[in-house]
Every structure is written in structure tokens, then in C-alpha cells.
Amino acid sequence: MLCFAAGGWCGALDAFNGETGTIRISGGTAHIPVMKEAAARIMSSHPDIQISIAGGGSGVGIKQVGEGLVDIGNSGRSPSDEEVHKYGLKMFKWAVDGVGVVVNPKNPVQSLTTAQLKDIFAGTLTNWRQVGGSDKGINLYTRDEASGTREVFWKKALAKGDITPTANVVPSNGAMKTAVANDPWGIGFVSVGHIDATVAPVALNGVVPTLDTVRQGTYKVARGLYSNTKGAPTGLVQKFIDYLFSPEGQEIAADKGFIGIK
Amino acid sequence: MSRETIAHTVFSSAAWLSAACTLMVFGFMAVLGYPILRDGLLWDMLSGPWSPMHQSYGIRPMIAGTLWIAFFGLMLAAPLSLGCAVLIQVVAPRGFGRLLHNVVHWMTGIPTVVYGFVGIFLLVPLVRQIFGHGSGLCALTAALMLAVLVAPTMILFFVQGLSQVPRSYLTAAAALGATPIQRLIYIMLPNAWRTLSAGLVLAFGRAVGDTMIALMLAGNAVALPHSVLDSARTLPAHIALVIAADFDSPEFRGLFLCGLILYLFTLTASLAVRCTVTSGRQRP
């Protein structure tokens, strides 16, 4: 349908004409909405192509593509030098994603400073009353150690501060959203593209994490979304990566709440 | 070859194959966990806290979490299961007991992830509301759901145990004028206690090994839990959360130690079951 409506942009999908095969993708959970949309468009116009998408987190993506288990491994952080060296990875950054602090919509606290955020996650600030909310304990939610979202949050929002060992650990962006949406006194962090009406974003040092602020660069807690391949991609995989960089692919990324690279 | 020999060979090779698989799993974990022993990290891993940023890969909080949640869940499930078994076997063997028995059979087939999912949306807010503080994700929540998970298996085991008491004992007691409840307390329970304890230990093995419920409901904090309202992490949930780490990292190697400890827990449980059941059979 999009092909008929926006004829000029159909060109990106035409590149797949005559191709058959499978693309296996896994890795970062933040990338999944874009991957699914791209895969849906490609598979519906080219039924001979099969694309399978799995999650697992940035760590899983890098490991699996390095071991040859998948063709494309997504990560929400750039692979470390050791990882690149060990697996011979090629990285492709096709979008930028902000990571925003979120609380339950019923929570009156809408804004925090970096110092307050650091204290909350370190466990020294334990009551919402101390940051202007109701007299209730703060329930912390963080992500597992291999998460790209967690890494950028720790580096840029917490300035590498400690995260207390008593924080609850959830395994994905989706699980984080569910946890915070169900807990009136919870605080956590999600990819900005995942923020919807079920959670309320918290302004950090006066800047609210939205798509616009990330795009303009005023909201600094952001990371690149990477798709990694083992060695230079060829054939179908190369075309998929090109598709992500095409105007249509970038439009999908923007649609899903990320900022395109161009 | 005679039919006897063929049958003997086929069945004994099947038995050997199953035993070999179990032993190979143990061997695999021991071999891959060997670097821990070689580097002298075993004691640190068993007693220290989990803090990769400070180079500490201790799994003591996870071992504690596993035992807390499993024992608590068992404590909640055991009286409930015994009560249900008594109902099914003694109090209402026809009618409601039969219905309950069928429901329990059906419940054993429910996947654990369904329990976890229901727990997140129904049990967690309830626990949070009742206690007024905390996120609702704690050892208690996981133990409650675990109790619901292991209860059906325990009930079926208990029912079987109670039904295996020799009929002659019960008829003799009835002839002496004992009521059904007196028969239960003085004849059935003392005679069935071996199967009952076997059922308990088996349920413990299951509770210790369950991943999804603890992963979704217990909170997964890395700190050592000090009360049932603390967020806790179990060994299987820890494996699930760390498995995405790099293959060469000490975090990943620690997972094999986790696996070994879980293996030892369930092995002890199985051996305990075998001992209680077989020693009972030798009585005249």
C-alpha cells in the first residue's frame, strides 16, 4: 500500500526483487519495533524472503552474531574493542535513541537533577518525600548487566555512579515499562522510543526526554542503535542494512521513536 | 538371539543412555567450571557478594534466595496439599473429591510462565498493597506463586501415598469402631509418612529448579535477602539474566558453578526420596 501511495520511496524495497533466503536477527530489545516493521514490509512484498527477529539484549546480539548464530546482531551500545577484535564485527549505526527516566503517571515528581538521580539509584535517597513527592519508599528498577540501555544510563545519566544491589532487575525495555506502569512508587529507565501513556517521563536537569530534545541534542543521555555483522555483510544481509539507511528505513526508525542518522 | 536377550539389551541400553546423559551434564558443568577451581576462586564465589564492577562474582545471595523462596513456598504448599489430599482420599472420595482430583490433574499441566505472568498483574500489586511499602516484587510473592505451582504435584503424590495404606488395616480399624478421621490420624498418616515425605522432597526439587516464577516475581536484586519482603534472586533466574554476558567473562564462568549447585540440590533431593521410599519397602 505504501508503494502505491509514495511511489518514489518504493525504490528501497525494489532492491530485494529476485532475492530469496533467510535473515536471522537478534539482540537489543530497543531495536525490535523497527526490525519488525522493516521485516513486515520486506516479507509482505517479497514472500520468498524470511526474516526472523529475536530479542535477548545487546550482549546477546553481539555474542550471537560473533558466534555465527544470527546474521545481524543488534546492540544498543557500540561493541567494545575486544568484541570487535575477537569476532571481526562490522558496526552500522542507523539511529540514535535517548534513554529517559520514567515514573508512574500517578507520581507527582516530574523533574530531578543528576545529583538526586545518582542518590536515588545509589540507595541514599529512599523516600519520594525527599524529592518532592508523597511519603512513600522509592522502588528502584534497573536492567540486567548485559543491557545496552543500562550501560548508557549508567554512563551518561548516573555519571558512572553506583546502582544499589537492592534494586529490582528486569530483563527488557518492555518489562521495565510494565514494572513502572504497575508500581505507583517505582522509578526506572527506558529507551525514549518506548515511552507512551503508561509511564511518565522525568525531566533530567530541566530537560524532558522526548524525541525532539534527543534529536536537537539538548537531552544528552543518548546512544546509537547499532546493527552488527560478522565481517562485511553480503547479499541479502547487505541489502537489509542498506534498507535501514534508506529514506524508508529512516522513516520507520523515526516512526518508532528514534532519531534517524541523517 | 532369543527374545529375552533382545529385550534385555534394548532396555538396559536405554537405562544406560539416560544415566549417561545425566552424568554428562554434570561432567560438562564440572569441566567448564574448572577454571574457577584452578584459579582458587571457589570460596570467593560461594561466599562473596555479586558485584562485577568491583570484581566480585559471589553467588551467595543467589543461593540464599533460592533456599528462602523454595522453603517458604514449600511451607505454604505442604499443609494446603495435605488438606486437599485428605479431602480427596478420605472426606469426600466421591463427588467433590473426585472433581478436585481432576482439577488438580489439569493444574499440573499449566506452564510456569503463565503463573509468572498472572503473578505480575494480580499478585504483585496485592502484596504491595497489603504491606504498604516495597514494590511487591519479593521473595514472598515468588514463594506464594511457587506454592501454587508445586501444590498439584504434591497433592497427587499425597493422594497416592494415602491410598496405598493396606485395606486390611483400615477395615480392622473400622471393625473396632474408628471414625474416618480417627482412621486417618491413627492408621493412614503413620503408614503413609514415607510417601508423604518423598512427595515433600520432590516438590522441593521442583521448587529449587523453577526459573520463570522467580525471574518474574522475586525482583532479582543482587543483594543478600534479609527478609521475605526483600527482593531476591534465585540461581536459575541468575543464570537466565547473566547468560547474555560474554563467554570469556568471569560472570559467565560463575554460571557453571550455579548449575553445579542446583544439580547438587536436586540430586540430594532425589537421593533422599529414594532412601525414604525404599527403606519403607523393606519392612514386612
d(CA B212, CA B210): 6
Cβ–Cβ below 8 Å for B246 and A136: no
Strands A89-103, A222-230: pairing kind: antiparallel
Give yes or no for a contact between B224 and B49, defined as CB atoms under 8 angstroms apart. yes
Region A196-203: mean pLDDT is: 92
Interface contact B136-A183, CB threshold 8 A: yes
Average model confidence (pLDDT) for chain B? 88
Average pLDDT for A30-49:
89
- pLDDT at position A262: 63
CATH number of the domain at B162, please: 1.10.3720.10
CB within 8 A of B239, min separation 6: which ones? B211, B255, B258, B259
pLDDT score recorded for residue B92? 84
Residue B38, phi then psi, degrees to nearest 5: -65, -40
Residue B104: per-residue pLDDT: 94
**What pLDDT does residue B284 have?**
47
Among A169, A185, A228, which would you mutate to test the B interface (most chain B Cβ atoms within 10 Å of its Cβ)? A169
> Is B119 a domain residue?
yes
Decide if A53 contacts A82 (C-beta within 8 A): no
CB-CB under 8 Å, B241 with A183:
no
Predicted confidence at residue A106, as pLDDT, reads: 92
User: Looking at beta carbons, which residues of chain B come within 8 Å of A57?
Assistant: 244
Give the C-alpha separation, B226 to B232, whole Å: 9
Which of A:194-253 have CB within 8 Å of B?
A: none
Cell numbers linked to B213: 516464577
Q: Which domain holds residue B129?
A: 59-282
Domain assignment present for B51: no
Would the pLDDT of B70 be above 90? yes
Look at the pTM and tell me if it is higher than 0.90.
Answer: no
Is residue B226 assigned to a domain? yes
Distance (Å, whole) CA B93 – CA B86: 9
Set of chain B residues whose Cβ sits within 8 Å of the Cβ of A76: none
Q: What pLDDT, on a 0 to 100 scale, did the predictor assign at position A4?
A: 43
Q: What pLDDT does residue A6 have?
A: 43
Mean pLDDT for the stretch of residues A54-81: 88
Mean pLDDT of chain A: 87
The reported pLDDT for the residue numbered B272 is: 84
Residue A7 is predicted with a pLDDT of: 42
Q: Which residues of B fall within a CB distance of 8 Å from A58?
A: 244
Residues of A in contact with B219 (CB under 8 A): 168-169
Measure B244 CA to nearest chain A CA, in Å: 5
Closest partner CB to A168 (pick from B51, B221, B245):
B221
Could you tell me what percent of chain A has a pLDDT over 70?
A: 96
Q: Name the minimum distance, in Å, from the CA of A184 to any CA of chain B.
A: 9
- In this prediction the ipTM stands at 0.80
Q: Which residue has the cell 467433590?
A: B96
A94-147 pLDDT per residue, tens = 988 889 999 999 999 999 999 999 999 998 999 999 998 888 899 999 998 878
Q: What local confidence, expressed as pLDDT, does residue A53 receive?
A: 92
Dihedrals phi, psi of A134, to nearest 5 degrees: -80, 170
pLDDT tens digits, one per residue of B234-268: 999 999 888 766 666 777 878 888 888 898 888 88
Chain B interface residues (partner A, CB cutoff 8 A):
49-53, 61, 120-121, 124-125, 128, 133-137, 215, 219-223, 230-231, 233, 240-247, 251
In a domain, B250, yes or no: yes
For residue B20, name the pLDDT band (cuts at 50, 70, 90): very high
Q: Which residue of chain A has the CA closest to B51?
A: A165
Residue B72 in any domain: the answer is yes
Q: Is residue B106 part of a domain?
A: yes
Query: Is there a domain that residue B33 lies in?
Result: no
Instruction: Tell me whether A170 touches chain B (CB under 8 Å).
Output: yes
The pLDDT-based confidence of B270 (bands split at 50, 70, 90) is confident
Query: Per the structure, how many domains does chain B have?
Result: 1
The proportion of chain B whose per-residue pLDDT surpasses 90, expressed as a percent, equals 46
In a domain, B44, yes or no: no
What is the pLDDT at residue A5?
Answer: 42
Q: What's the average model confidence in pLDDT over A147-154?
A: 87
Question: What pLDDT is stored for residue B47 in this prediction?
Answer: 84
To the nearest whole angstrom, how far is the Cα of B124 from the nearest Cα of chain A? 9
**Cα→Cα distances A98→A106, A109, A152, A213, A214, Å:** 23, 20, 9, 9, 6
Contact B219 A178 (CB under 8 A): no
Minimal C-alpha gap between A40 and chain B (Å): 27
- pLDDT for the residue A103: 95
What average pLDDT does the segment B124-146 reach?
90
Distance from CA of A219 to the nearest CA of B (A): 27
Report the alpha-carbon distance of residue B7 to residue B13 in Å, rounded: 10
